[in-house]
Structure 1
Amino acid sequence: MLENEPAPRRMRFNEFVLFVSVATAIGALSTYIVLPGLTQIGNDLRLTDISHSQAVISAYLIGFGTSQLVFGPLSDSFGRKGSLLVGLMIFLLGSALSGVSTDFSVMLAGRFLQGVGGGAGRVISTSMLRDSYVGQDLGRALSYVTLVFGLFPAVAPLLGQVILDLASWRWMFALLAAAGLTVAVWATLRLGETLDPERRRPFSWGAFRGALAIIFSTRKTATCILVLGLTLASNYAFIGLSHQVFSQLFHAEHLFTPLFGFIASMLVLAALANAWLLRRLTLRFVVQHTLIAAVAVNVLYLLCACLGWVSLPVYVLLQAVSTFLFGLTLPNLYALAMEPVASVAGTASAVIGFLMTIMGTCLGFFLGQLFDGSLLPIAAGYLLFSTLAMVSAQIAQRWRK
């Protein structure tokens, strides 16, 4: 096989990219579709503190992060297709468990399993693209997948709201199960194995420990992981808290879906802007200045919160700008974290993804629990996280390794 030829599979380019896009987007769909129903889920499952319903998002994200450590090495050892189907079966089990749950702990267990399965789709789908294409074809495929993935945070809450208007929140999980089953059937019938047997690597604990030693002894990468976690924390806090803010603080639950969609659409705009910026500026320059801009926005956010100036339009504007900066920062910061550990890129990608997701989820959930009807503690938390991220990034960029 020539180096620039795709690995054997049954799908042509367009179908293959569409399949990968759908398999990847299930993760975003599962995260965002439940947002309009968080309050109703909390009430139906008899939560005494409705803020705890944010754990429905956090449990999914923890499972999503954990799966990167499991399914990356698993697919390298046993192949992509079989590993993907295992992940989809776990996703189906989690969807069913969440959909029939009558206890909040069962709901969280189901969401964790959903996250594990959804994360498998994300990790393995990206690997399948890298197995199959190189150069411009790979770049073109990744751009299509990124565009589709970026649309789901804006569209998924609208879909969730439609389901709530017509039926119960339990039908959200029925829809997710149907989506997972569709991808599983599609993969079974049409997807060929993209990883040739001679390219598979048996898992080795010794090699894994060696890769971990390289990652954590590389100060630049270790510091970038910290910055990634802090950056994700504010974003995850916003996601988990957003519906509660709209309904309890602004009494504008009916506006949640369109305005959240507007805020989430900033991720697509950021992806387009990032592609333009990186043709003219370096990764380090973009990261440094977006982190500084994030601190400036959060200073303004805290000032408005202190003075009582955070009306709904101001809140939406501040979150839209913050989301745009987040979309600029995250991919570039991830690339910087990977630079010094190219020799163990596969393991490094899994470990970095796991650590930044777990850290961001835990800090974001903690910050969300501080909401007391005022945005003051939330704005203070945003400023703290962004300041620590900016300072840590400045330190990291002074180190070559």
Structure 2
Amino acid sequence: MIDVLKIRKDFPILQREVNGKPLVYLDNAATSQTPQQVIDVIVDYYSRYNANIHRGVHTLSQEATDAYEQSRQKIQHHFNAGHPYEIIFTSGTTHAINLVANGFASILKKGDEIMVSALEHHSNIVPWQMLCERTGAILKVIPMDLNGELIMSEYHKLLSNKTKLVFCNHVSNALGTVNPIVEIINAAHEIGAAVLIDGAQAAPHIKADVQALDVDFYVVSGHKLCGPTGVGVLYGKEEWLRKLPPYQGGGEMIAEVSFEKTTYADLPHKFEAGTPNICGGIALGAALDYMNNIGLETIAAYEHELLEYATEQLLAIEDLKIYGQAKEKTAVISFNIEGIHPYDIGAILDKLGVAVRTGHHCAQPIMDFYKIPGTVRASFSFYNTKEEVDILVASVKRAKNMLQ
């Protein structure tokens, strides 16, 4: 059982006011808040042992290197990767996806097919479109239905011996839909295709076991996991990471350099050119410690309570429609009120101290499917309360009365 009032004390930002009202932060699908325990790790790094890693013999460099590599091991254990060198630090999910897409440019040929789902964030669409332009590969799309679920029968029909790579989010950022990634991965592997799963939205709620999933690539962002912005992770199977060429050239990713020839460093350094976000990597490990101390299953169960409560309360509002009614979903509610633009609702909610996201949520094809300009998205975390849900509902009612 979560002691939410105790947990809230760990998050300094939750004590502030916005426009003279207590902050109700419901934009967790964009960025989660950071507990004091992680903030302390960031301050400690810059206060005591700020130094570059892997190259220095002095004490600060060694301490920073040890902390950074210990964090890599924490991430390895959290996702149950087989080896620490299968964990590549990136600046976030977008960077990780682009790294893989760049690598496949040397593998794909004209006429090959790659497949994306209709539920993707733009970060898991645009890099693959760019890859198709470079290689002549063809992009196929797994369609969705009105509930916001993928039509899996169509997925199986789309698979063929031309399919080389399938990429899909674990959880939709716009609707909260939990996709059937086990079925997606297994079916793709049967015809010899690789699979990349975008775990950015799933990671705060679901602990993915990458070995049990047998997934080829799994990518996440730290700022969804109570960690800092500017750091993320690419998990890749060793066989794939050795096959793909480096994404960037520079320091750290080399073994030997001459003007005639350069040889590349071994994993994971082959994909980690330049000075990394050292503090961010260390802090991400601390954020995972914090969440694991509470327990991902405990977090998910509590957030599901919030989801059910908020869904019931919001649907009681006349003319309010929720988009995304998947059987399995995380604590995300995307909604509109008939005749009112979502931006207008979001702007009034902000005046009342309620932080939500409005717009297409970097998932414009989903909005086009529903023939809407966007939605109001309320996304919940384990530090939110039912009282905050009540404030959200009252604020939506107030906005509706003002705008209709």
Which has the larger share of strand? 2
Q: TM-score, normalised by structure 1?
A: 0.30
Which has the larger share of helix? 1
Larger radius of gyration: 2
